[in-house]
Amino acid sequence: MPDTAAAPVLSLEVERCAGGNAVLVHCHGRLVVGTTDILRSAIVPLIPTCKRIILELSDLSHTDSMGLGTLVRLYLSTKSDGCSLELMHLSRQIRNLLGLTNLFGVFTVIGESGAKFM
């Protein structure tokens, strides 16, 4: 019998913010190999219609190199279309991963230290 508790699962909730120029995407679970297409297929169609896409990551428990690569690819896609991709409420694991890879300077991290995000 397979162990379903360890299966990589990612779920998303997309919420349009007032004014319609921003979208808040709540990420739940694990952004790992096998789940990255879920995030990519949800974000790519939003890029032409939004100026800001905010990934709320407080409930994202783990990411691996594939997940990190997906975040970087989405950042590049949004930037080339004049949209911004921002990260909000990073978990300790994701914060450490961004620090180890020197990507803190690339991503805009919001919602930390009482910063207003809307």
Cα distances (Å, whole numbers) of residue 7 to 20, 22, 25, 63, 73? 35, 31, 22, 13, 24
pLDDT score for 8: 58
98, 106, 99, 58: which is closest to 78 by C-alpha? 106
Mean residue pLDDT across the chain: 87
CA distance 83 to 81: 6
Domains of the chain: 14-110 (3.30.750.24)
* Global pTM value: 0.85
Cβ–Cβ < 8 Å for 54, 117: yes
Q: What is the pLDDT of residues 2-53, one digit of tens each?
A: 444 555 589 999 998 877 789 999 999 999 999 999 999 999 999 998 999 9
